[in-house]
Structure 1
Amino acid sequence: MTMIKRASIFILTAIVIIVIASSSAFAQKAPEFSNDLMMDNQTQVYLIAEKLEYRSVSGVNPLMWEVQGYVGKDLNKFWFKSRGEALTTEREAEMEFQGLYSRAIGPYFDIQGGIRYDLAYEGGGNKSRGFAVIGLQGMAPYFFHVDGGMFISENGDISASLEAEYDLLFTQRLIGQPVFETSLALQDVPEWGVGAGFNNIGLGFRLRYEFAREFAPYVGINWERKLGETADMARAEGGHLSKLSMVGGVRMWF
């Protein structure tokens, strides 16, 4: 009788263990594969106004913008970029637009290619030009944001530009951003005031406060200087070789 009880207890225990194990295995069963689970298969939309600002420069006080965004997945995207400057005291402005295909070449960088269109107007006239573009954009070591490109114009002129930024977190909401910009050209393009060699250098610092991550007003200072033959062309036309300005604006993204 004792043997029967022991056997019954053993069988009951085995059944309980099997049931628990089966339930656990069922609970841990991986979901069936679906492309929706792949992160690089999700279409994303992103738009940021990195700079929307007013600059205090003696006599001209321009409005300046730098906007970019993309539609696409982790590996492949379509990028749109625009930047420009419009004077508040005169009918004069310069603007640039880019449409680019972007392909991720690593965790931190994308290679980009596409077209660029420049438009400038002064008084009653305007001028424009087009470019083919190849560029590199991403985050360099030590969290430097880098955006560089090489451009070949419709007339065969070759130029390049580079912009680098870095975010200094004083607090989680108060952030300083030093900025470095430069550009160069291989040929003179007098009608656009561009000389061969390094054209300019720009240094800036903006201090923003993020009321929300998507909305951050800022103040700062910006310095620009024309270089080489570009400076010679500006000097010959009576233009300014350098500009130091206080800036105020807002950074927004969606």
Structure 2
Amino acid sequence: MRIIKPCIYTVLSLALASVTQMTMAQDAHHSMSMLAQHESHSSHDSSHQVMQTGIKSSQMEHTVEHVEHVEHAEHANASSIASRAASAQHPVDHKREHGGQIYQATEIDSRWLNNADGSGSLKTEIESRIGTDENKLFIKLHADKAESQDADYAAQLMYSRMISDFWDAQIGARYRVDEHQVTDKEQLDAAVGLHGLAPYFFETDAYLYLGADKQVSFSLETERDLLLTQKLILKPYLNLDVVLSDDSAYAQKTGLSSVWLGLETRYEINKKLMPFIDVAYSYEKGNQHTAWQAETGSEKQWWYGAGLRLKF
């Protein structure tokens, strides 16, 4: 019995110690689990707070951007209104970009022609124009001097107004000097006409002249360039005069008074210097019989020669 009791006490002590250790281990494990859960909850709360803060920051940034966009739109709108008001007070002039600029061009044409009889004639024409596409001033000078005779002169001043894309209406006056006449050497005529581009690119001048002593006449000049090369050009041309009425001292016969039908071949050294040769056929109806002149018949003849054209 003395031996059994100590053994029982020893077993009980060991069992009690084992239970105590198990209890302490369970308490420690429970404490660790609680701590881990607390840390997890704390981390989740922190993440949630961070997300909430980020959302609020994004909302604030979006609000600021919206406000800035509204302010920018209001500023742009105000600037547009101010610009329109300034344009209304000071309208922009675009005339220079749409044909409103003033330009000037002058052409000098001088040719020496001979007929079949060997008689020569020097013909010189000068045309200068200045103005815009819509309004121009034309100055035309003409001199015709037959060999061993006095020269005839004519000067024409015309105001030109564009009436369509290809035509200008013109009005002005013509001054003539004829040294062959004993009386009425100087004549002044009113002139109206058209200047422009006829179908098939014929450059055309058509004028009606009204003068003293019931002098009414019509003239037509038309021509077209035909390019053989960029520098070698053929130009057929037609000049005609029609007398509608004439009671002057040196009256011409009524009807088709004169015709010049020719072909010019020119070589353009450049756009300012252009020599050419010319072949033409002419018809002159003649003059009426008056107290100052005898009646003359019609004449038909060929002319040939050369000339020089200048442009600047």
Scaled by the length of structure 1, the TM-score of the pair is 0.79
Q: Does residue 134 of structure 2 align to residue 75 of structure 1? A: yes
Unaligned runs of 5+ in 1: 23-30
Matched, 1:222 2:273: no
- Tell me, in whole angstroms, the C-alpha distance in 1 between the residues paired with 2:253 and 2:295: 14
Deviation at 1:150, TM superposition (A): 0.2
CA distance in structure 1 between the aligned counterparts of 2:218 and 2:296, rounded to whole angstroms: 26
Match runs of 1:202-221 below 5 Å: 202-221=260-279
1:231 and 1:153, CA in 2 relative to 1: closer, same or farther beyond 3 A?
A: closer
- Given the superposition, is the C-alpha separation of residues 126 and 211 from structure 1 closer, same or farther in structure 2, using an over 3 Å criterion? farther
How far is the alpha carbon of 1:35 from its aligned partner?
4.6
1:185 is displaced (CA, Å) by 1.1
Q: Hey, what's the Cα distance between the residues in 1 that align with 2:168 and 2:234?
A: 25
- Give the aligned length: 239
Give the whole-Å Cα distance in 1 for the aligned partners of 2:250 and 2:275.
33
Q: Which amino acid is 1:150 matched to?
A: L
Question: For 1:60, which of 95, 106, 119 is the aligned residue?
Answer: 119
* Distance of 2:239 and 2:287 partners within structure 1: 16
Shift of 1:61: 0.7
1:110 to 148, 159, 168: 168
* Partner amino acid, structure 2, of 1:196: T
Match of 2:104 in 1: 45
Shift of 1:243: 2.5
| Structure 2 residue 214 is the aligned partner of structure 1 residue 156 | yes
Q: CA deviation at 1:192?
A: 3.7
CA distance in 2, matches of 1:150, 1:124: 26
The answer (yes or no) to whether the contact 2:223–2:238 under 8 Å persists in 1 is yes
Against the structure 1 CA distance between its residues 125 and 61, is the aligned structure 2 distance closer, same or farther, given a 3 Å change threshold? farther
The match for 1:141 is 199
Q: Does structure 2 retain, via aligned residues, the 8 Å contact 1:92–1:123?
A: no
Q: Distance in 2 between matches of 1:189 and 1:195?
A: 10
- Describe how 1:83-94 pairs up with structure 2 within 5 A: 83-87=142-146, 89-94=147-152
The answer to whether 1:181 aligns with 2:181 is: no
Q: Residue type of the partner of 1:42?
A: Q
CA distance in structure 2 between the partners assigned to 1:123 and 1:194 by the alignment: 13
Tell me which protein shows more strand as a share of its residues.
1
> Runs ≥4 in structure 1, deviation > 6 angstroms?
1-4, 123-126
Q: What is the CA deviation profile of residues 112-167 of structure 1, one whole-angstrom value per residue up to 9, with x for unaligned ones?
A: 00110111113998812110000101101111000010000023321110011010
Check conservation: 1:134, 1:150, Cα contact below 8 A: yes
AA at the equivalent of 1:67: I
Shift of 1:238: 6.3
Local SS of the residue matching 2:229: coil
* Higher radius of gyration, 1 or 2: 2
Q: Which amino acid aligns with 1:99?
A: L
Asked which structure has the greater RCO (Cα within 8 Å, sep 6+), the reply is: 1
Cα distance per residue 1:174-218 (max 9 Å; x no partner): 110001111111224564451111112210000001111121100
- Percent identical residues: 26
Counterparts of 1:128 and 1:225, CA distance in 2: 25
Specify the alignment match of 2:33 in structure 1: none
Query: Cα–Cα, structure 1 residues 224 and 139, in superposed 2: closer, same or farther, change >3 Å?
Result: same
CA RMSD of aligned residues (A): 3.6
The amino acid of 2:265's aligned partner reads L
Q: Is the 8 A contact 1:54 1:248 kept in 2?
A: yes
Please say if residues 287 and 296 of structure 2, whose CA atoms lie closer than 8 Å, have aligned partners that are also in contact: no
Greater alpha carbon shift after TM alignment, 34-43 vs 240-249:
34-43
Higher helix share: 2
Distance 1:53 1:203 in 2: 15
Partners of 2:253 and 2:176 in 1: CA distance: 17
Contact 1:137 1:147 in 2 (8 A): yes
Q: CA deviation at 1:241?
A: 0.6
